[in-house]
Structure 1
Amino acid sequence: MAASGLVHGPLGPNCLHVCIDMQAIFMPGAPWGNPWMERVLPAVEELSARHARRTVFTRFVPATDPETAPGAWKRYYRKWEALTLRHVAPELVDLLPALARLAPPAAVLDKRVYSPWTEGRLDALLASGGIDTLVVSGGETDVCVLATVLGAVDRGYRVVIAADAVCGSADSTHDAAMLLYASRFSEQVEVAATEEILSGWS
């Protein structure tokens, strides 16, 4: 789907890049492999490297075992018990090396669920930096990226999705999510190419 661009003008100094769950566990061939992650990695890396001090990487950290997970997450981790922390190779939870090298100065925020907002650490980080705009990249477009975007919209942030730097594991739901962002959330979410974002971010 074509990017709509930075329809509300250039990005100001109070902008932050939030990169969602670009981890080894989601690379093609890994247990939760996302076939498009390799393709978007160069754009994610460029965004992150150009603004490393203004980047936060999130990491999805599985439960220790099914019984330590809350509520319906128990059922989820009974299905994926091989990927709980008790069993999964620790390095699979790590950021991809091309991104891990940037932290620090980039920050890393671990989360136990799809949304990075539930524990309050992201709210505190953004408030301390006077942030008013979020550029979002990473995966998956229809799960953790969606949870991130909706939380940011609810909090009143200007949200810009880097169209060529987000990915999903299913083309149909990725495309549907991108259409959702650009149509239903057109007043609150902009969808722009990485090149335009970098050109418009002072």
Structure 2
Amino acid sequence: MAAQGLVHGPLDKSCLHLCVDMQRLFGRGYPWAVPWLEKVLPAIEALCARHPDRTVFTRFIPAVRAGEGRGTWARYYRRWASVTLERIGDDAVRLVPALERFAPPARILDKSVYSPWTEGRLDRLLAGSGVDTVIISGGETDVCVLATFLGAVDRGLRVILVTDALCSSSDETHDALMELYLSRFSEQVEVARTEEILDGWR
């Protein structure tokens, strides 16, 4: 089991906050609403406020219309035609209102798949930046956060998951993934609460 807390020391300018997919699309009134997105929002706001210039927001951008996408994504968007851009509009992919004020200086990185690494944009953004640590918040714990986490681990980054700033539409799989992170990645992840991260990231 991984030790909890910032066991590898305090955080410095080599640290980046990756806030995953905190968008209106996952808020109240949308087909993909995450019931406790609003519950974790204050913690995420506090993280963003500490170093907005060291924050990157990822945004999941759905297909424009039903049936578009590579391979199984085409089937996915036939099933989820209700969340294609032609149905929900461009406003749905915007950050939730409470977080929009941080960008700029925070940066926004758009992606069309779960992982922010697959399409190369995040690698290009980090190239030459000196970043060796990522703090991960946002949603969902068991989908896009998982993909973000695994890519960071593969790149040898120090990874910190913020336990009170992660959300999912499923309590069961959120809990299962937190157990997975802690039990299977003991050398590659630290988990901490927002308060501890803010205390350690001056």
Which category describes the TM-score, using the shorter chain as reference length?
over 0.9
Q: Bigger shift: 81-90 or 97-106? A: 81-90
Confirm whether residue 117 of structure 1 aligns to residue 117 of structure 2.
yes
Confirm whether residue 52 of structure 1 aligns to residue 52 of structure 2.
yes
Q: How far does residue 89 in structure 1 lie from its aligned partner after superposition? A: 2.5
Q: Is the 8 A contact 2:5 2:192 kept in 1?
A: yes
Q: How far does residue 127 in structure 1 lie from its aligned partner after superposition? A: 1.9
Q: Bigger shift: 88-97 or 161-170? A: 88-97
Q: How far does residue 66 in structure 1 lie from its aligned partner after superposition? A: 3.1
- SS for the counterpart of 1:43 is helix
Read off the aligned partner of 1:169 and give its amino acid letter.
Answer: S
Number of residue pairs aligned between Structure 1 and Structure 2: 201
Q: How far does residue 46 in structure 1 lie from its aligned partner after superposition? A: 0.6
**In angstroms, what is the RMSD of aligned CA positions?**
1.3
2: CA distance between counterparts of 1:17 and 1:106? 10
Read off the aligned partner of 2:136 and give its amino acid letter.
Answer: V
- SS for the counterpart of 1:176 is helix
2: CA distance between counterparts of 1:145 and 1:171? 15
The residue that corresponds to 2:32 in the other structure is 32
Read off the aligned partner of 1:62 and give its amino acid letter.
Answer: P
The residue that corresponds to 2:61 in the other structure is 61
Read off the aligned partner of 2:183 and give its amino acid letter.
Answer: S
- SS for the counterpart of 1:109 is strand
Give the TM-score normalised by the residue count of structure 1: 0.96
Q: Is the 8 A contact 2:16 2:131 kept in 1?
A: yes
Q: Is the 8 A contact 1:10 1:201 kept in 2?
A: yes
Q: Deviations over 1:104-144 (max 9, x none)?
A: 00000000000000111101111231100000000000000
- SS for the counterpart of 2:95 is coil
Which consecutive aligned stretches of 4+ in structure 1 deviate over 4 angstroms post-superposition? Answer: none
2: CA distance between counterparts of 1:31 and 1:94? 15
Q: Bigger shift: 42-51 or 124-133? A: 124-133
- SS for the counterpart of 1:57 is strand
Q: Is the 8 A contact 2:14 2:133 kept in 1?
A: yes
2: CA distance between counterparts of 1:109 and 1:189? 23
The residue that corresponds to 2:134 in the other structure is 134
Read off the aligned partner of 1:168 and give its amino acid letter.
Answer: S
Q: How far does residue 7 in structure 1 lie from its aligned partner after superposition? A: 1.1
The residue that corresponds to 1:11 in the other structure is 11
- SS for the counterpart of 1:165 is strand
2: CA distance between counterparts of 1:87 and 1:12? 43
Structure 1: gaps spanning 5 or more residues: none
2: CA distance between counterparts of 1:128 and 1:85? 34
Q: Deviations over 1:166-194 (max 9, x none)?
A: 00110010001111111111110111001
Structure 2: gaps spanning 5 or more residues: none
The residue that corresponds to 1:42 in the other structure is 42
